[in-house]
Amino acid sequence: MKYLYVIIVSLGFMLTSCSSNKVKIGLMLPVENERWIKDRDIILAKAKLLDVEVIVTNANLSASLEIEQTQQLIDQGVDVLLVIAVNKNTGAAIVRIAHENNVKVIAYDRFIQNCDLDYFVSFDNVKVGTLMAQYATKYVPEGKYYLLGGDKSDQNAVWMKQGWAGIIDPYIKSGKIKVVYDTYIEDWARDNAYHAIDQYLELSSNDVPDVILSAYDGLSYGAIDALNANNALKYPLITGQDAELKACQNIVNGTQAMTIYKPLKILADRAVELAIQCAKNQDIKLTGNTLYNGQKDVPSFLIDPISLDKTNMKSTVVADGFLKEEDIYNSK
């Protein structure tokens, strides 16, 4: 029970007897970081508005704990699961357990492979990579590129690299871009990114690359720490993802060039609406994509990500209320 906690969303004036009829959604977080806490809070707000209950779990990066939590949520009577899988492969066990109990599963922002997954709601993750690489090649069309990918057990990290490749491959073929290192970073962890860049700088006698294509803001912090620790003589162009507060501060201060902003409210609101439809066994028509997960074409709802640098900070994250202007600009 250590990692399991319960958040009950209910209107204070409702009688307890009525609340038992409410739709109950299980929201399974892979870990509590800035990104997933934001998603969680928007989901809870939307659930409150629509008068449904949400039970939240945190797997603390453990794929096996996340599987155990599935049964615990089912025992607590959830009608539907919103799953952010720690691992795209072992996540199939979550879907199997849920289906054995007639509970539908919506993969929330992370795809789950080789199973009878019901729905997938996310962003266009190939486009996330495309936007990063387009930005980098616009400003640095020639030079040494270090590819700092996410966790490879997360399909988003793989899709993102496809997006990078689509843009940089022609530059590599023409000899303009040289990829000096290409890696995935376990758990999307800042410390692991630090060690990867630190080791590269040591082995290359501090030959700082011109670009670090970083898949996530947390990895970018690790890269910046390693550059500082090695007294690097220049900052490469560093990308990122998630528009975390610290990343936006780094962008306006110049140590990170850009990040990818994902308007989470669109995703979270859509996910809650879809979850309620699943719980009520309503007829669902998702217009748009399906994505093949190795077993079936999964009906998918994909949102466009946005490229963010210092020029559009105010018109995007600030205008949307995603971050506060004073927090971004008063960080020195």
Check binding of 33 to ligand GAL (CB under 6 A): yes
Amino acid residing at 224: I
Residue whose pair of structure tokens reads 């990867």 in the numeric block: 196
Strands (E), the chain: 24-29, 53-58, 80-83, 104-108, 119-123, 143-149, 177-184, 211-214, 237-238, 259-261, 290-292, 297-303, 306-308
Check binding of 127 to ligand GAL (CB under 6 A): no
- Return the range that interacts with ligand GAL (CB under 6 A); candidates 4-12, 112-120, 149-157, 306-314: 149-157
- Return the range that interacts with ligand GAL (CB under 6 A); candidates 136-144, 148-156, 178-186, 190-198: 148-156
Quick one: which of 135, 188, 261, 301 contacts ligand GAL (CB under 6 A)?
Answer: 188
Quick one: which of 39, 118, 124, 154 contacts ligand GAL (CB under 6 A)?
Answer: 154
Nearest-approach distance from CB 254 to ligand GAL, in angstroms: 23
Nearest-approach distance from CB 243 to ligand GAL, in angstroms: 9
Check binding of 216 to ligand GAL (CB under 6 A): yes
Check binding of 39 to ligand GAL (CB under 6 A): no
Nearest-approach distance from CB 291 to ligand GAL, in angstroms: 14
Alpha-carbon distances, residue 239 vs 43, 156, 210 (angstroms): 28, 16, 12
Residue 119 bridge partners (DSSP): 106
Nearest-approach distance from CB 33 to ligand GAL, in angstroms: 6
Residue whose pair of structure tokens reads 């995935």 in the numeric block: 184
Helices (H) and strands (E) in the chain, counts: 11, 13
**What's the per-residue H, E or C state across 58-93?**
ECCCCHHHHHHHHHHHHHCCCCEEEECCCCCCCHHH
- Return the range that interacts with ligand GAL (CB under 6 A); candidates 112-120, 150-158, 163-171, 222-230: 150-158
What are the residues binding ligand GAL (CB under 6 A)? 33, 35, 109-110, 150, 154, 156, 188, 216, 241-242
